[in-house]
Amino acid sequence: MTVYLEKLAEFSALLRQEGLPVGLQETADACEILSCLDLGDRGTVRAALQAVYAKSREEQAAFQRAFDGFFVSAEKRDALRRRHAAEAEALARRRAEAEQELQVNGQPMDLREDLQEVYIRMGDRSREQLRQLLEKTKGNLERSPQLYSNFIRSVFMRFLLEQQMTMEDAASGCEESDPDLALLYRDISHFKDADIPRAAALIAAISRQLDAELSRQKQGAAHSGKLDFRRTIRKGLETGGSFYRLAYRRKRRRKRRLVLLCDVSGSMLQFSEFALRFIKSMSEVSESSQTYLFSEEIHAVDPFALQNMDAFRDYVRASGLYGRGTDLGTALEKLCASRPAALGPSTTLLILSDTKTIDLPRAGRALLEARQRAGKVLWLNPIPERKWPYVRSIQTMQMLCQMLPCSTLDELARACRKMLK
């Protein structure tokens, strides 16, 4: 039993790192179940532990990854070690080859690091196409070296960006056995109209799961720690004057009051819609929360308009904000000036935007002023986190507030969990 408990304690710690709500009770339940099973039957052990540790689809996917990496036989562990060593050696060889191939006129191409990584991981056929292009156009090198270098770099960048998008689509949307799981990890900007009903149902299910998690966490800290003398005396009188049962004052549960500032300019509309579906379905969000839409202007949303999110896009288009530029600085300045009571110490300002805005310095100053007024400022960003180092506006805004990646429904769920804890 001690061996089981030590092993399961390590596994529970791993699951917590993966974001699963695992505590002592789950570990103890798992230990008790394992004591009744044949540990040689891997499938049974896996199913039993999954029933204890993982409830939602998101948790089950994380559990399966953790289980496969943690519980492996000695033979399989050695085989994995050999395979990883071979893969690392092959990758190092491809990196060295790429360093030689990604050169023009003896000088390295000025390519982003993530595009260089795409080239390294591309198939041999795609790399051969680029090598043939270099050979065909080599004659232009002598006539105009600078123009040739710029041309080759632009062709390589376009080709690699297309390859990058293909890889992302393949990684996120091809699991026919579980389309909901595929939808969970697909980039929101790639959603089609046919995906919206399934995505909305998935959001509702995840929101219920998040509400249940938060409810369980608060049950463990139900009282404030202060003694309730009246209830203690009443309980004592019920037991003939014995005051062994103490009563404590209950904590007042205050729902989070949010001020949501949603970018609805151009391609941001779809992300803002799904983010609002998530946030508005959470029972922990106060009904007094306020929502504002912005592009070049700011518009306060009628709360009744958000009761039917299926009509949200029509509402945005009717507001006249859709399809215009993005001016975060103006939106924040007008919010602080015209509605000074909206932001206060007990308020969380939640910004939904990709940071691409007119007049970045002005937006930075306005965000600093809003941060001084609000209790907390969070930024939900739909641009994949691996691209952040290459976007100047993201680097600027990251220094001014906490920014969370939200390019997929899975990341949106994680952001909501952090926001509401």
pLDDT of 180 reads 63
pLDDT at position 80: 59
Distance of CA 178 to the CA centre of its chain: 20
Of 33-42, 111-120, 354-363, the range with the lowest mean pLDDT is 111-120
Distance CA 61, CA 357 (A): 37
Q: List, for residues 183-227, the tens digit of each pLDDT value.
A: 777 888 888 878 888 888 888 777 777 766 666 655 554 455 566
SS3 string, 213-263, reads: HHHHHHHCCCEEEEECHHHHHHHHHHCCCCCCCCCEEECCCCCEEEEEEEE
DSSP code for 101: H
The DSSP call for residue 285 is: B
Mean pLDDT of 302-328: 78
Are residues 373 and 403 in contact, defined by beta-carbon separation less than 8 angstroms?
A: no
First-to-last C-alpha distance (Å) of the chain: 34
pLDDT at 152 over 70: no
Asked whether the predicted pLDDT for residue 73 surpasses 50, the reply is: yes
pLDDT confidence of residue 114 = 67
Q: Where are the domains of the chain?
A: 2-71, 75-172, 226-253, 257-420
Beta bridge partners of 379: 351, 403
The per-residue pLDDT for 379 is 92
Euclidean distance between CA atoms 183 and 190, whole angstroms: 10
CA distance 300 to 261: 9
38 vs 80, more confident: 38
75, two tokens: 């033979």
77 has pLDDT over 50: yes
Q: What is the pLDDT of residues 352-408, one digit of tens each?
A: 998 888 888 899 999 999 888 888 899 999 998 888 888 888 988 988 888 998 888
**For residues 16 and 22, is the Cβ–Cβ distance under 8 A?**
yes
Q: What is the largest CA-CA distance in the chain?
A: 105
Q: Is the model more confident about 415 or about 240?
A: 415
Per-residue pLDDT band for 1 (boundaries 50, 70, 90) equals: very low
Asked whether 261 and 374 are in contact (CB, 8 A), the reply is no
Residue 224, CA atoms < 13 Å, CB-side half-sphere: 8
pLDDT at 167 over 50: yes
Q: How far apart are alpha carbons 46 and 33 in whole angstroms?
A: 11
Instruction: Indicate the length of the chain as a whole number.
Output: 421
Q: In this predicted structure, which of 10-14, 45-49, 193-197, 222-226 has the lowest mean pLDDT?
A: 222-226
In the predicted model, what is the mean pLDDT of residues 146-163? 68
Question: How many whole angstroms separate alpha carbon 129 and alpha carbon 134?
Answer: 9
**CA 376 to CA 107: how far, in whole Å?**
48
pTM, 2 dp: 0.53
DSSP code per residue over 297-322: SEEEPPGGGGS-GGGHHHHHHHHT-T
Averaged pLDDT, 82-96 = 74
Distance of CA 119 to the CA centre of its chain: 26
Q: pLDDT tens digits for 245-297?
A: 667 666 655 566 788 898 888 778 888 888 888 787 765 565 667 888 888 88
Predicted local confidence at residue 182, as pLDDT: 72
For residue 144, give both structure tokens.
Answer: 């105009």
CA neighbor of 263 nearest in space, from 314, 288, 290, 297: 297
Q: Compute the mean pLDDT over every residue in the chain, rounded to the nearest whole number.
A: 75
Cα separation, 322 vs 316, whole angstroms: 6
Q: Return the CA Rg of the chain.
A: 27
Distance CA 382, CA 355 (A): 10
At 322-360, the pLDDT tens digits run 767 788 999 999 888 877 777 888 888 899 998 888 888
Q: Evaluate if residue 127 carries a pLDDT over 50.
A: yes
Q: How much is the pLDDT for 100?
A: 76
Q: What is the mean pLDDT of residues 96-122?
A: 73
What is the mean predicted confidence (pLDDT) over 140-162? 66
Is the pLDDT score of 146 beyond 70? no
pLDDT at residue 276, as a whole number: 84
CA–CA dist 298, 170 (Å, integer)? 38
- pLDDT over 50 at 174, yes or no: no
Q: Where are the strands (E) in 288-417, listed by range?
A: 290-294, 298-300, 347-352, 376-381, 402-405
For residues 123 and 160, the answer to whether their CB atoms sit within 8 Å is no
Higher pLDDT, residue 151 or 393: 393
Q: Are 412 and 406 in contact (CB under 8 A)?
A: yes
Q: Which residue has the higher pLDDT, 140 or 173?
A: 140
Q: Which sign, positive or negative, has the C-alpha torsion 181, 187, 396, 367? A: negative
Are 321 and 299 in contact by the 8 Å Cβ rule? The answer is yes
| Architecture in CATH of 257-420 | 3-Layer(aba) Sandwich (3.40)
How confident is the model at residue 254, as a pLDDT? Answer: 59
- Which of 225 and 59 is assigned the larger pLDDT? 59
pLDDT number for residue 270: 82
